């Protein structure tokens, strides 16, 4: 009999790890996957284009139910695991199914953070994380007019853009005075805001939500300064928290998330974890690029080919709003010992800022012309000394190559 691998979480990290494992050894385990969502595995990133009407749910499926059958994997979709008994090595699902494991993979992702203001539990207040949320938003856009998105980060802006494309009047509320303040500096954030205002979005910056007004369904949002705006739908995009309740209850060592080593193993050698539910050397994860690398390493260790080690690397951020070109990577704050190179062309709507440290690029913010983003990213990753191309650096790879 083959050893049993149980995967908890039928999302991007879990299934990518299964794929990586099967690339190395297709028949090593009897694999059982439990998913809380009632679907096959889909590309969560592409929920934004689905909301904007540019893609359908079918377009974004990565693994349909047939795929699991073809690959000899047992899928229990819509049946979350509610208990792990690490002594007996058994997981139990909500429907009462019990499955024994030799290896367990936790890939439970994150849970959206809902700001606990009065009224946050009213119907019409949702997050933006899964197919269900998108369906709720699409339904609201057919029957209602005013949407408020709380959180002006990447996810919030993609939600706002999608709802606008569906015909709603959308206001984005953000607690600081600049959009995407984790990834952009002020000038880039201003350009972004202008471009989105031209598309029809409204913004309330430096705004603190005090209450979501009901009584039976959301009707308005009230702010600390006393102002009130109408709302039939409130989308909270104020960050996520690693989904670790199950791991914690099973006694696995967790800090802010499930603590793993460089092989993605938890403190229990039979249990691995990947994706947004893990903490690796103090870091948490919220983008897929590092998660693909975790999956590659974890898949190899599950396959018994334990020679890979997970090494953290910086990942670029892009906004998926058609017509808005934005690229941000690395340390964009700088600080002591760093220098800035800036190119600003207001008429073309182009802004580029490179943060340099010791003749190396530490970070890049590009707005309007992002063609050289991957090249700068490569220079960051390789730690290339840019002293000889410094004067041409902002004009991009082509010019630097010609000047060399
Ligand atoms: C709208 C949107 C746009 C995004 N855009 C980008 C982007 O442009 N670029 C980028 O890099 N990243 C983007 N992300 C982030 C990216 O999708 C995540 O980093 C990635 O999905 C994390 O993978 P994961 O497997 O850890 O979590 P998830 O994909 O969330 O998968 C976890 C799964 O586990 C399930 N689960 C939880 N608990 C249990 C349980 N007890 N039993 C069974 N199943 C359980 C959950 O229901 C979920 O299906 C975006 C995210 C969203 C929501």
What number of H helices and E strands is found in the chain?
10, 27
Task: For 351-367, give one letter per residue: b (16+ CB within 10 A) or e.
Answer: bbbbbbeeeebbbbbbb
How many angstroms separate the alpha carbon of residue 198 from the centre of ligand 1?
31
Are 102 and 244 found together in one domain?
A: yes
Are 277 and 356 found together in one domain?
A: no
Q: Once rounded to an integer, what is the mean pLDDT over residues 129-156?
A: 97
Q: At 111, is the pLDDT very low, low, confident or very high (cuts 50, 70, 90)? A: very high
DSSP code at position 252:
-
pLDDT of residue 370: 95
Q: Which of 287, 302, 317 is the endpoint of a domain?
A: 302
Q: What is the CATH number for 161?
A: 3.50.50.60
Residue to mutate (ligand 1; options 6, 42, 44; most atoms within 8 A of CB): 44
- d(CA 167, CA 190) in angstroms, rounded, equals 24
pLDDT of residue 333: 86
Are 207 and 259 found together in one domain?
A: no
Tell me if 275 is assigned to some domain: yes
- d(CA 65, CA 39) in angstroms, rounded, equals 8
Tell me if 319 is assigned to some domain: no
Q: Once rounded to an integer, what is the mean pLDDT over residues 169-178?
A: 97
Q: Say yes or no to pLDDT of 403 above 80.
A: no
Q: Once rounded to an integer, what is the mean pLDDT over residues 213-218?
A: 95
Are 373 and 395 found together in one domain?
A: yes
Are 186 and 259 found together in one domain?
A: no
Residue to mutate (ligand 1; options 33, 101, 242, 276; most atoms within 8 A of CB): 276
Tell me if 211 is assigned to some domain: yes
- With a pLDDT cut of 90, the percent of the chain lying above it is 94
Q: Say yes or no to pLDDT of 404 above 80.
A: no
Residue to mutate (ligand 1; options 6, 8, 9, 39; most atoms within 8 A of CB): 9
pLDDT of residue 62: 98
Q: What is the DSSP string of 9-38?
A: --SHHHHHHHHHHHHH-TTS-EEEEEESSS
3-state DSSP of 117-154:
CCCCCCCCEECCCCHHHHHHHHHHHHHCCEEEEECCCH
DSSP code at position 113:
P
Are 12 and 101 found together in one domain?
A: yes
Are 155 and 232 found together in one domain?
A: yes
Q: At 306, is the pLDDT very low, low, confident or very high (cuts 50, 70, 90)? A: confident
Tell me if 118 is assigned to some domain: no
Q: At 289, is the pLDDT very low, low, confident or very high (cuts 50, 70, 90)? A: very high
- Ligand 1 atom at shortest distance from the alpha carbon of 276: 26
Are 284 and 330 found together in one domain?
A: no
- d(CA 38, CA 35) in angstroms, rounded, equals 7
Q: Mind listing the pLDDT tens digit for each residue in 317-361?
A: 999 998 899 999 999 988 889 999 999 998 889 999 999 999 999
- d(CA 249, CA 85) in angstroms, rounded, equals 10
Tell me the average pLDDT of the chain.
96
pLDDT of residue 298: 98
Q: What is the CATH number for 370?
A: 3.30.390.30
Q: Which of 236, 265, 286 is the endpoint of a domain?
A: 236
How many angstroms separate the alpha carbon of residue 57 from the centre of ligand 1?
15
pLDDT of residue 161: 97
Segment 64-69 long-range contacts (CB within 8 Å, at least 24 positions apart): 64/40, 65/40, 67/40, 68/33, 68/40
Q: Say yes or no to pLDDT of 117 above 80.
A: yes
Are 270 and 191 found together in one domain?
A: no
- With a pLDDT cut of 70, the percent of the chain lying above it is 100
Q: What is the domain count for the chain?
A: 3
pLDDT of residue 346: 85
Domain that residue 131 falls in: 125-236
Tell me if 312 is assigned to some domain: no
DSSP code at position 283:
B
Q: At 231, is the pLDDT very low, low, confident or very high (cuts 50, 70, 90)? A: very high
Are 389 and 360 found together in one domain?
A: yes
pLDDT of residue 239: 95
Are 24 and 167 found together in one domain?
A: no
pLDDT of residue 176: 96
Tell me if 75 is assigned to some domain: yes
Are 216 and 255 found together in one domain?
A: no
Task: Tell me the whole-structure pTM to 2 decimals.
Answer: 0.95
């Amino acid at each position: 009999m083959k050893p049993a691998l149980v995967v908890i979480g039928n999302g991007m990290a879990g299934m990518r790890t299964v794929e990586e494992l099967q690339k190395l050894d297709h028949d090593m385990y009897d694999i059982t996957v439990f998913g809380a969502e009632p679907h096959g595995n889909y590309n969560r990133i592409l929920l934004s284009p689905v909301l904007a009407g540019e893609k359908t749910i079918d377009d974004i499926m990565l693994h349909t139910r047939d795929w699991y059958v073809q690959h000899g994997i047992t899928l229990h979709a819509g049946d979350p695991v509610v208990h792990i008994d690490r002594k007996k090595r058994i997981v139990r699902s909500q429907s009462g199914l019990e499955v024994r494991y030799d290896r367990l993979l936790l890939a439970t992702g994150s849970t959206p953070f809902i700001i606990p203001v009065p009224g946050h539990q009213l119907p019409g207040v949702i997050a933006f994380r899964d197919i269900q949320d998108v369906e709720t938003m699409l339904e609201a856009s057919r029957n209602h007019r005013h949407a408020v998105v709380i959180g002006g980060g990447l996810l919030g802006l993609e939600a706002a853009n999608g709802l606008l494309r569906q015909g709603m009047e959308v206001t984005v509320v953000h607690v600081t005075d600049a959009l995407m303040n984790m990834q952009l500096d002020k000038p880039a954030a201003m350009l972004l805001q202008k471009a989105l205002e031209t598309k029809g979005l409204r913004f309330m910056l430096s705004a603190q939500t005090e209450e979501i007004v009901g009584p039976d369904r959301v009707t308005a949002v009230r702010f600390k300064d006393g102002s009130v705006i109408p709302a039939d739908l409130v989308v909270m995009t104020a960050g996520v928290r690693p989904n670790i309740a199950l791991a914690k209850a099973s006694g696995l060592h967790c800090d802010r998330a499930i603590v793993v080593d460089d092989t993605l193993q938890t403190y229990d050698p039979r249990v691995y974890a990947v994706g947004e539910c893990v903490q690796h050397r103090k870091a948490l994860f919220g983008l897929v690029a590092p998660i693909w690398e975790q999956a590659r390493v974890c898949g190899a260790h599950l396959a018994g080919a334990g020679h890979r080690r997970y090494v953290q690397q910086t990942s670029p951020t892009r906004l998926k709003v058609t017509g808005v070109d934005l690229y941000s990577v690395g340390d964009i704050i700088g600080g002591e010992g760093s220098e800035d190179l800036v190119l600003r062309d207001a008429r073309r709507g182009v802004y580029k800022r490179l943060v340099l440290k010791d003749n190396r690029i530490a970070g890049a913010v590009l707005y309007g012309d992002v063609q050289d983003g991957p090249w700068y990213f490569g220079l960051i990753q390789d730690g290339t000394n840019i002293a000889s191309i410094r004067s041409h650096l902002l004009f991009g790879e082509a010019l630097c190559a010609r000047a060399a």
